[in-house]
């Protein structure tokens, strides 16, 4: 049986790396697990979109008199989705032959700065965080993040700057 010598069995692809990064955020970050963050993805490869969902839990209460989400949970969701989207968009824009270099830099990626604007109390049964890229450079990515409840009420937004390593 003749095999194709040009095929690399373990070739790193954009899609595989995106899947790996989402798994890292979901499976190896204890705080994300403690909160109960759910990572919802749609599409594959260059079409991959991700959002975070969180079901209301009494242990996440910030103001027991009003039964609202703790501001730190809100900020965590915004920061997590911002960082994740920054990395995913970087992977999408990286040529496959340069992915191994990006993979080496992944452990040094992180939040440089973040601002959160709380628009209304965090009431709801489910909270959904999304992010989009405002600007991407070679070393920094700036994202806009939003948090809504299941009714679509806009609870908070944030702007985050993420270092690409």
Q: Considering the domain boundaries, does residue 9 fall inside one?
A: no
CATH number of the domain that 148 lies in? 3.10.129.10
Max Cα distance, the chain (Å): 72
Q: Considering the domain boundaries, does residue 7 fall inside one?
A: no
pLDDT at 11: 79
Of 17, 144, 123, 34, the residue nearest 79 (C-alpha): 144
pLDDT at 106: 86
Q: Considering the domain boundaries, does residue 5 fall inside one?
A: no
Q: Considering the domain boundaries, does residue 4 fall inside one?
A: no
Q: Considering the domain boundaries, does residue 1 fall inside one?
A: no
Q: Can you tell me the distance from the alpha carbon of 163 to that of 87, in angstroms, rounded to the nearest whole number?
A: 9
124: helix, strand or coil? coil
pLDDT at 126: 98
pLDDT at 3: 43
Q: Which domain holds residue 24?
A: 14-163
Give the mean pLDDT per block of 10 residues along the chain (165 residues).
Answer: 47 91 95 96 88 97 93 98 96 91 90 98 97 95 98 98 91
- The count of structural domains within the chain is 1
Q: At 32, list the tokens.
A: 């994300």
pLDDT at 46: 78
pLDDT at 2: 43
pLDDT at 5: 43
pLDDT at 10: 67
17: helix, strand or coil? helix
Give this prediction's pTM. Answer: 0.90
């Amino acid at each position: 049986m003749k095999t194709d010598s040009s095929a690399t069995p373990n070739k790193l692809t954009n899609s595989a790396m995106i899947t790996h990064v989402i798994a890292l955020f979901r499976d190896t970050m204890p705080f994300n697990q403690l909160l109960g963050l759910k990572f919802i993805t749609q599409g594959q490869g260059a079409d991959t979109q991700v959002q975070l969902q969180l079901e209301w839990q009494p242990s996440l209460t910030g103001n027991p008199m009003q039964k609202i989400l703790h501001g730190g949970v809100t900020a965590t969701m915004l920061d997590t989705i911002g960082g994740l989207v920054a990395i995913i968009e970087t992977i999408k824009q990286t040529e496959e032959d340069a992915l191994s270099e990006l993979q080496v830099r992944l452990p040094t990626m992180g939040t440089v700065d973040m601002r959160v604007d709380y628009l209304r109390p965090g009431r709801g049964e489910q909270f959904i965080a999304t992010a989009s890229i405002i600007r991407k450079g070679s070393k920094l990515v700036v994202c806009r993040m939003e948090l809504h409840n299941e009714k679509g009420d806009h609870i908070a937004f944030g702007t985050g700057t993420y270092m690409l390593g």
